[in-house]
Chains A and B, each alone.
Chain A
């Protein structure tokens, strides 16, 4: 069980982060976020079983409820409400996007971040988590859709959580509950804002928001 968690699940998280860049359908992005979060939950479950920790199990259940069940439902409801079948376009074309992702992944595996990726023996998992962090940042920069930006923020958070889990930097259950509470509120607020943006601008493409251009 533990070896699966250490080898298979970080790869799933990384692949979903790449998938966010390649898919055009909003519904796919929302579901992929659910899959990515499920992989994080499975790592949390694995860790809680390994340590026989009840608080860790509670956190895993909480993450499952918020990120795997609630968040995708919020996003799907938003997509259906406004008929947002396809996501907004990207600033860079597809081949260039893939090249940048490849560079970012190489950077995560490079010597520059060796102090971080050698925190524990799970070097590959930590490098993949770093690659997820970089790729998620790039998603927010490259995509023009508000929904993609929201998923980018949440994927970034998943990348950080994965890194924390594999490097042994996870926090106490109390603090993790506080962090999760913030994330849950963030999801609600961001979804409400996305809906309001659509009502004001008639689109979730952030490039049409030009009122503040100086």
Chain B
């Protein structure tokens, strides 16, 4: 019933946004739906932590991984919806967007949140694929929201690259059904059923299938070399959408990869999938480092940081054991921090009217609170102690140092270099002499709330992790 409440709330909000033209109604209904989803997902997470995975309906099954992902979707979703309301009001006041566009925005945003919620909680690999494809369709128009040439280009690139990626994932998913006969005549095949019968899967087919799934969903995760859509889409979408794309959507796709990894491991052993994850993870970290130094756009900078962080997660799951536990923690921290950073970047954009690093000077004076949030986010995301990502990075690296020393050392060096590159760009934005046209002071106090709450949550979770979350993390990590 609880998962129905979440999905139902998002769909109901979508319907209201379609039917009611009053702006305030669309805003508050969307926010109310996100609050309902957030509260319910906490209840679900606690239930799964205490009673284990459960199946509320035939098509849905919520395990520890799904519960964590759902928690991330709803928490970040709630912050993003609240921020969007005030962000779009500012943009409407500046006549950047009209009221009709705002309504379209909330329709697509609610659909996007619903699709992601279904993707991580469905019991069916095929339904998960359909939902992830639906996220592509619902976000394409959000990326082209500003209707500029660059936004159009980014959206087209996003649509084509992700569609191809997802079709390859679809093909890989179908190949896992090649041992369907052993499952009997059931027309509905769940993740558990696939895993249960994975021993009957031809190992060579399992390997080919996993390669297709990893390349396919890996495109959505943003792993190198399938990442090319990501910086363009993230930098052209409205800031709250970038926050959702980076903080949540990448994780949703990763969840599917991880579920297929478990099935593949049963069929061919874990070494094959581990090596592939390590390979793509390390490549993603390296490419992010190479590009981050030359970045001229702060939203692209954050996007490349996401590629690096998804690479770290892939590396952690590839290492397995404590690395997998660290990767799960990293997923949580990264989602919260990156969303806070993107939301802060939205406020910076509103102030400076530019996403170019060169155009943003003296942000600490112009936007003191937003800048402090941005700086805290920067320190958190680059792994500065004592914040959580420092420990997750250390844990990932320590889990790999004995078994894969060369990979670990390269990753460590890349992380250190990345910090320097990121630091150089962020200090250029925060300090220096700002233009006289830029007035000091925050644009709107309400724009601070969402990123501030997310950052405070990261700080809190860095020092005190609730027991139900720890239980869920351990449950997931024990499988990898």
CB distance from B222 to the nearest CB of A (A): 16
Partner of B174, one of A153, A160, A174, A201: A160
Q: Which A residues lie within 8 Å of B147 (CB)? A: 196
Q: Which A residues lie within 8 Å of B202 (CB)? A: 115
- A106 CB-CB contact with B under 8 Å: no
Is A137 within 8 A of B130, CB to CB? Answer: no
- With contact pairs A189-B140, A200-B152, A212-B232 given, residues A169 and B174 touching in the complex (Cβ less than 8 Å): yes
Q: Which A residues lie within 8 Å of B232 (CB)? A: 212
Q: Which A residues lie within 8 Å of B178 (CB)? A: 119, 167, 169
Q: Which A residues lie within 8 Å of B164 (CB)? A: 137, 140, 153, 156
Per the 8 Å Cβ criterion, residues 168-225 of B in contact with A are 170-171, 174-175, 177-178, 180, 187-188, 202, 204-205, 208
- A135 CB-CB contact with B under 8 Å: no
Of B155-163, B378-386, B394-402, which stretch is located at the interface?
A: B155-163
Is A196 within 8 A of B152, CB to CB? Answer: yes
How many chain-B residues does the 8 Å CB contact rule pick out? 42
Per the 8 Å Cβ criterion, residues 114-167 of A in contact with B are 115-116, 119, 133, 137, 140, 146, 149-150, 153, 156-157, 160, 163-164, 167
CA distance A140 to B232 in the complex (A): 19
Per the 8 Å Cβ criterion, residues 56-83 of A in contact with B are none
Which of B155, B157, B164 has most chain A Cβ within 10 Å? Answer: B164
A177 closest partner in B (C-beta): B130
Contact with B along A164-184 (1 / 0, CB 8 A): 100111011111001101100
Is A146 within 8 A of B156, CB to CB? Answer: yes
Is B152 within 8 A of A212, CB to CB? Answer: no
CA distance A200 to B148 in the complex (A): 8
Is B156 within 8 A of A206, CB to CB? Answer: yes
Is A186 within 8 A of B205, CB to CB? Answer: no
- B134 CB-CB contact with A under 8 Å: yes
- B100 CB-CB contact with A under 8 Å: no
CB distance from B76 to the nearest CB of A (A): 24
CB distance from B289 to the nearest CB of A (A): 15
Is A115 within 8 A of B204, CB to CB? Answer: yes
- A211 CB-CB contact with B under 8 Å: yes
Is B163 within 8 A of A163, CB to CB? Answer: no
CA distance A156 to B188 in the complex (A): 25
- B133 CB-CB contact with A under 8 Å: yes
Which of B130, B171, B205, B232 has most chain A Cβ within 10 Å? Answer: B171
CA distance A153 to B137 in the complex (A): 14
7 A-B pairs (CB sep. < 8 Å): A153-B167, A168-B180, A169-B177, A178-B130, A179-B170, A186-B133, A193-B140
